[in-house]
Structure 1
Amino acid sequence: MTQFRTHVRVGLGAAVLSLAAFRAAPDDFVAHLIQQLTRYYAAIYPEKSYLHLDKEVYAAGETIWYKAYLVEGQSHQPDTMSRVLYVDLINFNRQVVAQQVLRLQRGTSPGDFLLPDTLQQGIYTLRAYTKWMRNAGPEFFFTRPVTVWSGTGAAANKRAAHRAATPQKGTHVQFFPEGGYLIAGLESTVGFKATDTYGHGTPVSGQIQDEQGNMVAIIKSHHLGMGRFQLTPAAGKRYTAQLRLSSGQSVVYPLPEAQPAGFTMRVLPLADGYKVIIQRRMPPGTPAERVTVVAQVRGQVAYAGQATINDQEAFAAFIPKNKFVGGVAHFTLFDGAQVARCERLAFVDSDPGLRLQVRPDKATYGPREKVTVHITASTPAGQPAAGQFSLAVNNAALVPADSGGTDIRTHLLLTSDLRGQVEQPGYYFRAAGSAAVAQALDDLLLTQGWRRFVWKQVLEGQLGERPYPLEQSISLSGRVVNSKVPVSAAAVTLFRFNPTQTLSATSTDASGRFAFAQFSGLDTARVVLQVKPTKGLRNPVIQPDQPWEGIGPEALLLAPLTTLPPMAAPYLASSRRNQAMERQYRLDARTIVLRNVTVQGKKVALTDPRRALYTRADAVVNTKDIPAASTYTNALLLLQGRVAGLTIAASLPSLDARSATLYWNPAATTGASGVATVTFYTSDEGGPFRLTLQGISLAGIAGCGSSSFQVVARQ
């Protein structure tokens, strides 16, 4: 291992900084730490889920189309261990109003929620998780807000907001000393974050004062209410933040109390690496001790170094960025007793993501014209990438772009490894390279730290209980009781009526439990469970396991939607027009309205013409002889006026009103060549259309791509 030989001595208070301090040579503790961390991640097998939606806002009565992605938490490769994903729609009263259970194939699955046309307007929460993820807790579920407009008026929504969970009102300001603690006599960077009632960042400014009212620092928030300042606390003194809010109100917040002894750790992000600076302050006479610094991303150790430290010197190490995989890095300081004393997060921007190109074959189209889109996926090194993707085509004039920038890349690399909800995560990616953005991202990691484990438990091999299994198939389980007593060896029969009729049987175990697996259908299944009474089992009761509807901190605390933005009026008008046409021309209540589909098949030749019902057609219509035949949305419309004696009496649709979501494809894939082609047709609606592609390669590299085209409507 490399020993740092460069010596730099600069003034740092009364301390001396030495870059030669940390020696990257493992001893028994370092080897044990790496071994236990590897063992921990292998045992807990972390998973990450993500949902790509066809758009950002919906109207009551519309369908939320989405594609679910599940990846292994360390490598981000598509997960093949869990094959069942649960997706919940949670309302602003923190109730699960709809749930889907998806069968995953290669870590992905399409899904949809049909929103009732009576659904109350508001901001809902979508969450996605596996049963295995419940072992780690709801904090690790994927969640995102979904706005639903109905235009039913503000009064009902105000009443709903009143019934919803009421948060603590006002502005909240939190302070986070870098590394964990303020230590008397040692300079520290202190991060702060100001949020409103619903967790949105809000600007603040002011100063830090000591007990005598002396100003010791000036503070001012930057991006989304976050910022930092330097402070060297004096022993025995208390400090307060005298702040002015955006409303003009003045407030006072106490700072964390400084500890008389301990460590500080500063991590300075540089262009090509990170400088880690360690200081110690202990009671007089405390001998020097050997400390360890470990840096890791998702359990993959990038650096482990050790040094002997005392109170007179501040020690430092430089760690190159190329040692890390991309994502959130955790820097941890262990003292001489091998106890974790400080921790700091930093973002490693070494993962530029997949290069995705989405190219329509033309820049401008007419109504009902065929659109061909060429997709190209390549690695950061320019090599073709095989992967799984989803493509949404939206009317840019009706559907706002995601102002928060939430996409699969921001989620996997950033938000999935941070505590709580991250506001506008795309800001930190879309303007990468900017000094202001880099500072804002570092402020975020100063104030929103998170990790999946406690070091003490990892080092001691305490892996915790995991009562929820890795599900390999959709199952139906429960238990059988008789007078509230579990019944063992009871014969349970399951009758399944759709999509096919089947009969299955099993027996309960010693605790009265049973399970039926291998539900391979992609539609709603109607089943009947039965236990026949026997001698000694006169009144058996079947208790099926109910869907889990627990609501934890992952359910977002969202502001009530009491007024609609100006863009809602044209969106709702378009949605009502489209829904009315779908209802008018729907054949029956059981009809499923499809978007764009491709039907492939081959003509079956009749070997014996005598067995045909009709041997000669009265009229033949060949679509290749009809100009723009592919633009007709109904075969009867195409026949109108082209067959002598044929009159079409039914009322047929004359308008294709698809607009907000013109096209949704959850199954775009690229093979070894890294290319794919999709086709669809424009509707009668004109305007600018935005194409958004998201997905992940088989190697675990996420990416996003976008493009646009124009549709010129008929005059």
Structure 2
Amino acid sequence: MKRLYAFLLAGLIPGLGAYAQKVDSVLAKLGEEFTQERAYLHFDKSVYAPGETIWFKAYLEAGILPSDISKNFYVDWIDASGNVLYHTATPIIDASAKGQFDIPASFKGQLIHVRAYTTWMQNFDSAFLFNKDLRVLQLSAKKPEAVTVKAEIKFLPEGGDLLNGVNGKVAFKATDQWGKPVAVKGSVRNSKGEKLDSLITKHDGMGFFNIDAKAGETYTAYWTDEQKQAHTTQLPAVKQTGATLKLSGFGNRKNFLVERTAEAPDELKTLYVVASMQQQLVYRARVDLSESVAIGGGIPTDNFPSGVMLVTLFTANWVPVAERACFINNQNYSFAPTLDVVGDTRRRAKNFIDIDVPDTVGANLSLAVIDGGVGTDTSDNIVSHLLLTSELKGPVYNPAAYFKNGSDSLKQQLDLVMLTNGWRKIDWESLMADKWPQLKYRRDSSYMSFLGKVYGTTPSQIREAGFINIIFKAKDSTQSMVFLPLASNGTFSQPDMIFFDTVKVYYQFNKKRDLAERAAVTFSTGLLPAPGTVANIPLFANWLLHDTTGLGRSRFFAAEQARLAKLLKETTLEGVTVKAKAKRPIDLLDDRYTSGLFKGGDAYQFDVGNDVVAQSSYSVFQYLQGRVAGLQISNATGGGSQASATWRGSTPTFYLDEMPTDAQQLQNISMSDVAYIKVFRPPFFGSFGGGSGGAIVVYTKKGGDVKAEPGKGLDSRLLPGYTPYKQFYSPNYSTTVSDEPDLRSTLYWNPYILTDPKNHHFTVEFYNNDISKKLTVVLEGVNKDGKFVHLVQTVE
């Protein structure tokens, strides 16, 4: 992966020696070969009922840019006991993925834990996988019994240690058994009982005090929690010798103070300060403490990206002795699309949303519209998660609050978070000894692969067979065929396949067809299987004790939906009348010719057989020229040159009768043989390469022949693929009239809104339900430069 930072390294001093070069090379290799991905999931809402669908959009970052490491994304949907209810596997397109999970109507739990990851992410600490709890409302659930809150406190000296004779800052964090903040107060005393400082929380259970530590002395905190329970907690032991690192400043530089004990070996009299962000070197300096016990300096940060910076203090022998994390907020992490909502909250009224991204780079967005009374999770969002919480160990309470503005008070509160939470510590000792992380999983070099192996044969039989013929047949009868060479060990493969749900795989050996009777053949896709159970899930169950206005509104929706479901179950079909207008001719054409992923969808449709203009066109490309906004076509009339097409900087995938083809073959088709054309907007998820350029699908006229059943008489196996996508239901009340009550709490969900400099305006429309009088619109996303957007608007 390319280096992500091109900043001037301040403080570089010539002649630092081989060890300094070693640190540089270690960070360079760590950043290039062991870049860690971070994932964030945007959900349509945060509270659900049994039987509802959870819709999600995943965003992936690596360093400061959208990740190009992985091709496949996984989500485990887990109950409170750690049982995996469902395992989602989806392709990653433009550093993002989409999907959904249908909560079983019989589900009795009150929360679903979501764990999301890529294969590459599983090489590293599992604490940095995406984890989130979603509330599931149970109308018949008993109110949980009151649980006694158990408070605990942790003390964390700045830099790492309390040192003899060195005045140090000690941060603390008080939480309950679920990781939520607890307010405490008390005092810090020495072994004689003398009070040294007060102990009182400053923000969300966190605070700090200063102490002049002495070797051989012990220090104890006496404190009471919110329940007036008294506690005593001993502070960490004091070290006789050592060095510490302190940071301060919230402007365009971070000031550091390096201080050692009065008694110190020679290796603590020359020290090195190294700062890194996303495993990339951003600062290095040498500190001379041979004549004094303390010295300060500054790290210029005004050109740095926003995010967590790790500052490490090394001895003269380049052994780490102190470390401090801080947050750099240069307000350079966001971009600003406009979100214009023309809302109408009357019953089943039409609403419009205009999105414009006036930028020089493309953007990848997701949009949710929900009932305004249901409430959304405002504690975390794409900005706070990918910049902050995904970099820290342990829960951060209400992280989004630290990005409301750039005030000094918020910066001070955020610094308390950095003092009291774990971070991605670099194992310097191992790396300096050339002991690198053991990678169990390789980077995804392709999408799902079709992998197989033949057992029970000799090498000579494999050579005689030569190839294996494969026919894939999906549930909707779509089919494709490949001929794969057999390796000497009986293996065969086809990379970069994309199919959903399951396919039936028919196979036959090319030159030795009777071999199938004696050989065993196995197939796989290379996708990670679903884990049965997941241990050590951080469930914050105490929130089930509380209800809010948002939960009350969600409970109302859940109750109404349950009542309607029961009514429909007990009512005969004559009791429910649905009136719908007749389908348009183009929709009937779509039903006749399309199947699987090609049916319906976000596409331009052309009834070529009934279009007189088509008969005068030289080719498919000339016919489409100028008819599809954003689709650029060259050499449409041929003239000895091959036609080509681009859409948003990428080449569309071409299909002929739903089989992959190329531009030349489409260009040579006579328009008199074409019945129907569909042009899918990017991204088209049925394409092998991810479909970032959309797809052009050409259907030839059907004759009266009946095709033979593919694969009939051949051996076959059933093979699972990617999790199938569901289409979000959004009724169009301008063409459909229904007597059935509309009680949707999610009124609109669009996980893929893609823009580029030439196509930066996007308009959506949707209809209100029967009861919502206030709507909440949430837009999130990332652009090609790795900047984020999180916008929320309310319509009343």
**Cα distance in 1, alignment partners of residues 351 and 556 from structure 2:** 25
Check the 8 A contact 2:178/2:542 in 1, yes or no: no
Match of 1:697 among 763, 766, 783: 783
Deviation (angstroms), 1:503? 5.7
Residue 777 of structure 2 aligns to a residue in which SS?
strand
Match of 1:667 among 719, 738, 752: 752
1:74 aligns with 2:94: no
**Cα distance in 1, alignment partners of residues 516 and 604 from structure 2:** 58
1:111 aligns with 2:75: no
Task: Tell me the residue number matched to 2:733.
Answer: 631
Residue 51 of structure 2 aligns to a residue in which SS?
coil
**Cα distance in 2, alignment partners of residues 64 and 2 from structure 1:** 45
Check the 8 A contact 2:343/2:351 in 1, yes or no: no
**Cα distance in 1, alignment partners of residues 564 and 258 from structure 2:** 63
Deviation (angstroms), 1:437? 2.0
Q: How does 1:438-453 map to 2 (within 5 A)?
A: 438-451=411-424, 453=426
Provide, for residues 5-44 of structure 1, a one-character-per-residue CA deviation record: whole Å limited to 9, x for no partner.
xxxxxxxxxxxxxxxxx77556233333222201211111
**Cα distance in 1, alignment partners of residues 151 and 489 from structure 2:** 51
Provide, for residues 296-319 of structure 1, a one-character-per-residue CA deviation record: whole Å limited to 9, x for no partner.
211232211112114733111112
**Cα distance in 2, alignment partners of residues 87 and 351 from structure 1:** 31
CA 1:272–1:657 in structure 2 vs 1: closer, same or farther (change >3 Å)?
same
Task: Tell me the residue number matched to 1:7.
Answer: none
**Cα distance in 2, alignment partners of residues 25 and 578 from structure 1:** 76
Q: How does 1:92-491 map to 2 (within 5 A)?
A: 92-154=80-142, 170-281=150-261, 283=263, 286=266, 289-310=269-290, 312-377=292-357, 383-397=359-373, 399-404=374-379, 406-430=380-404, 432-451=405-424, 453-471=426-444, 472-475=446-449
Check the 8 A contact 2:8/2:282 in 1, yes or no: no
1:501 aligns with 2:479: yes
CA 1:174–1:531 in structure 2 vs 1: closer, same or farther (change >3 Å)?
farther
Provide, for residues 215-234 of structure 1, a one-character-per-residue CA deviation record: whole Å limited to 9, x for no partner.
11111113221111111111
CA 1:503–1:467 in structure 2 vs 1: closer, same or farther (change >3 Å)?
farther
Check the 8 A contact 1:328/1:346 in 2, yes or no: yes
Q: Which amino acid aligns with 1:39?
A: K
**Cα distance in 2, alignment partners of residues 202 and 510 from structure 1:** 65
**Cα distance in 2, alignment partners of residues 556 and 287 from structure 1:** 42
**Cα distance in 2, alignment partners of residues 581 and 410 from structure 1:** 43
**Cα distance in 2, alignment partners of residues 421 and 188 from structure 1:** 26
Q: Give the number of aligned pairs.
A: 630
Provide, for residues 402-449 of structure 1, a one-character-per-residue CA deviation record: whole Å limited to 9, x for no partner.
141x1111111111111123221111112x333332222111110112
**Cα distance in 2, alignment partners of residues 579 and 693 from structure 1:** 31
CA 1:311–1:575 in structure 2 vs 1: closer, same or farther (change >3 Å)?
farther
1:686 aligns with 2:686: no
**Cα distance in 2, alignment partners of residues 182 and 337 from structure 1:** 22
**Cα distance in 2, alignment partners of residues 550 and 26 from structure 1:** 55
**Cα distance in 2, alignment partners of residues 585 and 172 from structure 1:** 60
Query: 211-220 or 353-362, which moves further after superposition?
Result: 353-362
CA 1:370–1:553 in structure 2 vs 1: closer, same or farther (change >3 Å)?
same
Unaligned 5+ residue runs, structure 1?
A: 5-21, 163-167, 613-628, 638-652, 711-715
Check the 8 A contact 1:346/1:442 in 2, yes or no: yes
Residue 541 of structure 2 aligns to a residue in which SS?
coil
Residue 419 of structure 2 aligns to a residue in which SS?
helix
**Cα distance in 1, alignment partners of residues 397 and 556 from structure 2:** 27
Deviation (angstroms), 1:199? 1.2
Deviation (angstroms), 1:536? 13
Residue 24 of structure 2 aligns to a residue in which SS?
helix
Match of 2:16 among 27, 45, 55: 27
CA 1:456–1:529 in structure 2 vs 1: closer, same or farther (change >3 Å)?
farther
Deviation (angstroms), 1:665? 0.8
Q: Which amino acid aligns with 2:34?
A: I
Task: Tell me the residue number matched to 2:655.
Answer: none
**Cα distance in 2, alignment partners of residues 133 and 75 from structure 1:** 16
Task: Tell me the residue number matched to 1:40.
Answer: 30
CA 1:223–1:539 in structure 2 vs 1: closer, same or farther (change >3 Å)?
farther
Provide, for residues 631-676 of structure 1, a one-character-per-residue CA deviation record: whole Å limited to 9, x for no partner.
3452xx4xxxxxxxxxxxxxxx325515411101111122115433
Check the 8 A contact 1:2/1:24 in 2, yes or no: no
CA 1:669–1:2 in structure 2 vs 1: closer, same or farther (change >3 Å)?
closer
Provide, for residues 100-154 of structure 1, a one-character-per-residue CA deviation record: whole Å limited to 9, x for no partner.
1111121122211111111123222212211111112322211221111121312
Q: Which amino acid aligns with 1:422?
A: V
Check the 8 A contact 1:656/1:685 in 2, yes or no: no
Task: Tell me the residue number matched to 1:602.
Answer: 606
CA 1:607–1:400 in structure 2 vs 1: closer, same or farther (change >3 Å)?
closer
Check the 8 A contact 1:209/1:215 in 2, yes or no: yes
**Cα distance in 1, alignment partners of residues 534 and 53 from structure 2:** 26
Query: 473-482 or 343-352, which moves further after superposition?
Result: 473-482
**Cα distance in 1, alignment partners of residues 265 and 769 from structure 2:** 81
**Cα distance in 2, alignment partners of residues 143 and 41 from structure 1:** 24
Check the 8 A contact 1:356/1:377 in 2, yes or no: yes
**Cα distance in 2, alignment partners of residues 201 and 585 from structure 1:** 53
Provide, for residues 603-622 of structure 1, a one-character-per-residue CA deviation record: whole Å limited to 9, x for no partner.
455489xxx9xxxxxxxxxx
CA 1:586–1:682 in structure 2 vs 1: closer, same or farther (change >3 Å)?
same
**Cα distance in 2, alignment partners of residues 363 and 542 from structure 1:** 55
Check the 8 A contact 2:270/2:290 in 1, yes or no: no
Q: Which amino acid aligns with 2:538?
A: L
Provide, for residues 241-296 of structure 1, a one-character-per-residue CA deviation record: whole Å limited to 9, x for no partner.
11101111001111110111101110013323211000011636758732110112
**Cα distance in 2, alignment partners of residues 580 and 504 from structure 1:** 49
**Cα distance in 2, alignment partners of residues 48 and 511 from structure 1:** 38
1:85 aligns with 2:73: yes
Check the 8 A contact 2:273/2:285 in 1, yes or no: yes
Task: Tell me the residue number matched to 1:9.
Answer: none
Unaligned 5+ residue runs, structure 2?
A: 1-6, 570-575, 580-594, 613-674, 676-730
**Cα distance in 2, alignment partners of residues 48 and 607 from structure 1:** 50
Residue 444 of structure 1 aligns to a residue in which SS?
helix
Deviation (angstroms), 1:464? 2.5
**Cα distance in 2, alignment partners of residues 219 and 451 from structure 1:** 28
CA 1:488–1:143 in structure 2 vs 1: closer, same or farther (change >3 Å)?
farther
Check the 8 A contact 2:47/2:554 in 1, yes or no: no
In the superposition, the TM-score normalised over structure 2's length comes to 0.71
CA 1:599–1:75 in structure 2 vs 1: closer, same or farther (change >3 Å)?
closer
Residue 383 of structure 2 aligns to a residue in which SS?
helix
Provide, for residues 670-699 of structure 1, a one-character-per-residue CA deviation record: whole Å limited to 9, x for no partner.
211543322222233331101110000011
